Structure formats: C-alpha cells, structure tokens
Amino acid sequence: MPYVVKVWAYLDKDGFPVGDLSRAYHHEDKQLANLTAATADGIMVRVKRSVDMKKVSKPEKKIKVSKSNQTWMKGGE
C-alpha cells in the first residue's frame, strides 16, 4: 500500500505542496514515508490504491448523413 505525506497539502517528489492526491508522491516504504513526514512536520497518510487521473477526452461530433432528398437544402447540385 502506498503512503503519502501531508503537511497542509500533499507533497510531490520535489517536496513542494500540491492539492491533488494524484500528483502527490507515493512512497512504497512505510519507514521512508514516516521519516519524510517527521522531517516536514506533517503526517503520513496511507492510500488504498494509487490514484491515476486520466484526462477525459471530449466526445467526437457525430457526422450527420444527409439523405439524397436533402442535398438541395445544403446547397448541393
């Protein structure tokens, strides 16, 4: 189970605070996470699973197929 260190925000791999749990550095070793928390004067939080935030892609626009009797409306021949 991974661990993260929280001071007033979660810490990333460089020690800077980040607001998202997905961008926080996940320690695999409990002792290392506990030592980091003691150094940063924060707390160690156990995470159930590693959070992977995927970017949500926009749905593609559906192309409407025009019927043969509607081509004159669209300026076709």
State residue 53's pLDDT score.
52
| DSSP helix/strand/coil, 17 | strand
pLDDT at 67: 66
| pTM (two decimals) | 0.53
Residue ranges per structural domain of the chain: 1-49
- What are the phi and psi torsion angles at 58 (to 5°)? -75, 140
CB atoms within 10 A of CB 20: 11
Residue-wise pLDDT for 9-54, tens only, equals 888 888 888 888 878 888 888 898 888 888 888 888 888 764 555 5
